[in-house]
Amino acid sequence: MRHLVEQGCLDRDGGLLFIGPEAERRYGHRHFMNPTSVFTAPPQFTVVQGRKETGRTDPGLLTEWVEGPRRLLLAGRSRQVTYIDWHRKRCFVEPADGGGEAKWSSAGFGQGASFEVTRAVRDVLLGVDPPVSLTRRAGRALAEAREHFLARVRPGGNLVIRDPDGRLRWWAWAGHRANATLAARLADPDSAVAVLSEPTRFVADVG
């Protein structure tokens, strides 16, 4: 690796290595992309029934609040969760009669926005203009989004708002992971505060 860096085949930026100018000159035309492509995916939990691994499941099914026993739908069969090993990312189950759920996160905001992205959205809604040139259409969409979320964001902190159905909604603006943790900790369905991770519609509309 040191030799490749010295020869310019690899370039270094902090702790990251990537294709250097010499590799681009010698191989060019992106021929080096196949051996260096990397695909990332959200972590999955291994599901274990007895001593046998039966598959994997999305961690979202193990963190969101449920009423009653937590059940998964895996390989066409319902399984009830008996224990979750968070450190080893293993989920232990037993057969169930029904009621299992399946869920798989897709790319992008389907996985939930991070704390940094959510806070950046909050700053923009509070009036900070993004450091880019906006088209007229984007400017109108941004103005509409700020008006739409006016009652849901404030400079001094978070907001707790009562919905028309009487439930409280906590606009924490903390990102998907933090809000999933908060929601999982609020165990009483009668008094729990509904937590919204991020304004996905605003992100989709304004880009």
Indicate whether 156 belongs to any domain: yes
The pLDDT, as a whole number, for residue 3 is 92
Co-location of 20 and 70 in the same domain: no
The pLDDT, as a whole number, for residue 109 is 40
Positions of the chain with pLDDT under 50: 107-110, 191-193, 195-198, 200-207
The pLDDT, as a whole number, for residue 135 is 87
Residue identified by tokens 């950046």 is: 120
The pLDDT, as a whole number, for residue 47 is 93
Co-location of 116 and 201 in the same domain: yes
Indicate whether 102 belongs to any domain: no
Co-location of 30 and 53 in the same domain: no
The pLDDT, as a whole number, for residue 12 is 84
Co-location of 12 and 70 in the same domain: no
Co-location of 119 and 200 in the same domain: yes
The pLDDT, as a whole number, for residue 92 is 95
Rounded Cα distance, 58 and 55, in Å: 11
Indicate whether 106 belongs to any domain: no
Q: What domain range is 18 assigned to?
A: 2-36
Co-location of 63 and 23 in the same domain: no
Q: Please give the tally of structural domains in the chain.
A: 3
CB contact set of 89 (below 8 Å; sequence gap of 6+):
43, 44, 45, 46, 59
